[in-house]
């Protein structure tokens, strides 16, 4: 045991003396001068940018209806279980109750709606904005109309819809096709409500009905089994200098950068996409999520499942920086080149607008920019 420590100490000293930061003569001969890693950094501005319409139907956690400025939203709702084929009855109460979960653009305003019956069956996967203007689908005249002032303290609103229910109940259809809520000229606010329900909570609109016959009074509450919203708005007036990302409709942005100078063998260590916001053309409020999402796409509709995102945390933040390293690595490795597609994360539940300076901006410092750091693999 006494000999162990001197022997161990001597062995450790030999190891330390034999170590060197530089390879010896034999090692130097085995290493190629080209076998070294160096970092390269490039800053690219977008070569092209554009805005395109990706028409969607709002089938998600929120239903929207109303109008604010140039943005209009229409809601379609269908109920099941409505009594039908009754000729001797009187409707005492028929209201649609909605719990408010979203407002746009302000928290107060006037909500004006025309309510029309739908005339044929429909599927939420096939309905688009143009469908709501087809006479064979939507009743030509209003079944009823509704106007109400919305205040910040309102949490629930009710629409009187007795004329719609009267027609449904006299009809021979076991399941009415539903109704559409169309904002009229009085409306200057957009209201949203939940479409979520489970065993603990049901936030969907309620159809509350009270009617009586000669011998009985019936009270019932119905919930939608199918509902969507559709939105429409024109592009902002200066599309040549802006790339617009608009939720609800939806408008999406498309960007392209010249990555031909980056070799296929490049390993991307960092990549950030920087977009500058034009706050004068953007429309947001306290209900906005303020998050945008980037995809890569070979076409308009084929978006990648791989994404990057960024959140604009307040009105003072003028740039959005997205960490797109995985996306750039995929582009570089897989050629031919793909576009970046930018969309709102809330495009199915809101109508917020983000206007970013485009590749044709007169100020080059505001153009979309892609900053990349990479190394060449041996």
Confidence of residue 24 (pLDDT cuts 50, 70, 90): low
- State yes or no: pLDDT of 320 exceeds 60: yes
- pLDDT digit string, tens, across residues 52-80: 888 776 567 889 999 998 899 999 999 88
Joined together, the tokens standing for residue 108 give 């107060």
Confidence of residue 9 (pLDDT cuts 50, 70, 90): low
Confidence of residue 317 (pLDDT cuts 50, 70, 90): confident
Whether 48 and 255 have beta carbons less than 8 Å apart is answered as yes
pLDDT of res. 206:
94
> How much is the average pLDDT of 5-13?
51
Please give the residue that has the higher pLDDT: either 167 or 242.
242
- pLDDT digit string, tens, across residues 116-164: 999 999 988 888 888 899 999 999 999 999 899 999 999 999 999 999 8
pLDDT of res. 220:
92
pLDDT of res. 215:
85
pLDDT of res. 126:
81
Average per-residue pLDDT in the chain?
85
> How much is the average pLDDT of 99-124?
93
pLDDT of res. 14:
47
- State yes or no: pLDDT of 4 exceeds 50: no
Please give the residue that has the higher pLDDT: either 369 or 174.
369
- pLDDT digit string, tens, across residues 215-239: 889 999 999 988 999 999 887 766 6
- State yes or no: pLDDT of 369 exceeds 90: yes
Percent over 90 (pLDDT), the chain: 51
> How much is the average pLDDT of 303-320?
87
Confidence of residue 22 (pLDDT cuts 50, 70, 90): low
- pLDDT digit string, tens, across residues 257-266: 999 889 888 9
> How much is the average pLDDT of 325-338?
82
pLDDT of res. 297:
86
pLDDT of res. 293:
96
CA distance 26 to 3: 35
- State yes or no: pLDDT of 184 exceeds 90: yes
pLDDT of res. 307:
93
CA distance 16 to 6: 16
pLDDT of res. 58:
58
The domains of the chain, with CATH numbers, are 39-55+236-376 (2.60.120), 71-232 (no CATH)
């Amino acid at each position: 045991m006494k000999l162990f420590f001197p022997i161990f100490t001597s062995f450790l000293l030999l190891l330390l003396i034999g170590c060197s930061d530089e390879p010896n003569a034999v090692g130097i001969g085995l290493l190629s001068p080209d076998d070294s890693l160096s970092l390269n950094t490039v800053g690219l501005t977008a070569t092209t940018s554009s805005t395109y319409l990706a028409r969607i139907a709002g089938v998600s956690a929120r239903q929207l209806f109303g109008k604010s400025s140039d943005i209009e939203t229409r809601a379609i709702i269908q109920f099941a279980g409505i009594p039908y084929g009754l000729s001797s009855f009187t409707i005492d109460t028929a209201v649609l109750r909605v719990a408010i979960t979203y407002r746009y653009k302000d928290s107060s305003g006037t909500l004006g709606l025309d309510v029309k019956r739908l005339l044929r069956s429909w599927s939420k996967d096939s309905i688009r904005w143009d469908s709501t203007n087809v006479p064979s689908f939507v009743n030509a005249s209003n079944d009823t109309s509704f106007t109400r002032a919305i205040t910040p303290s309102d949490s629930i609103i009710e629409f009187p819809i007795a004329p719609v229910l009267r027609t449904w109940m006299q009809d021979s259809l076991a399941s009415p096709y539903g109704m559409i809520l169309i904002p009229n000229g009085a409306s200057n606010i957009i209201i949203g409500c939940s479409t979520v329900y489970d065993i603990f909570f049901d936030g969907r609109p309620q159809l509350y009905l009270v009617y009586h016959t000669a011998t009985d009074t019936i009270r019932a509450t119905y919930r939608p089994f199918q509902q969507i919203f559709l939105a429409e708005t024109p592009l902002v007036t200066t599309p040549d200098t802006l790339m617009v990302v608009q939720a609800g409709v939806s408008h999406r942005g498309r960007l392209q950068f010249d990555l031909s100078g980056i070799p296929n063998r490049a390993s991307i260590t960092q990549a950030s996409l920087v977009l500058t916001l034009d706050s004068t053309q953007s429309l947001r409020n306290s209900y906005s999520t303020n998050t945008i999402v980037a995809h890569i796409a070979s076409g308009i509709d084929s978006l990648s499942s791989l994404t990057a995102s960024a959140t604009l945390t307040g009105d003072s933040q003028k740039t959005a920086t997205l960490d797109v390293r995985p996306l750039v690595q995929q582009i570089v490795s897989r050629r031919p080149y793909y576009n970046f597609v930018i969309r709102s994360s809330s495009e199915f539940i809101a109508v917020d607008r983000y206007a970013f300076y485009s590749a044709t901006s007169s100020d080059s410092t505001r153009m979309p920019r892609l900053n990349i750091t990479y190394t060449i693999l041996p």
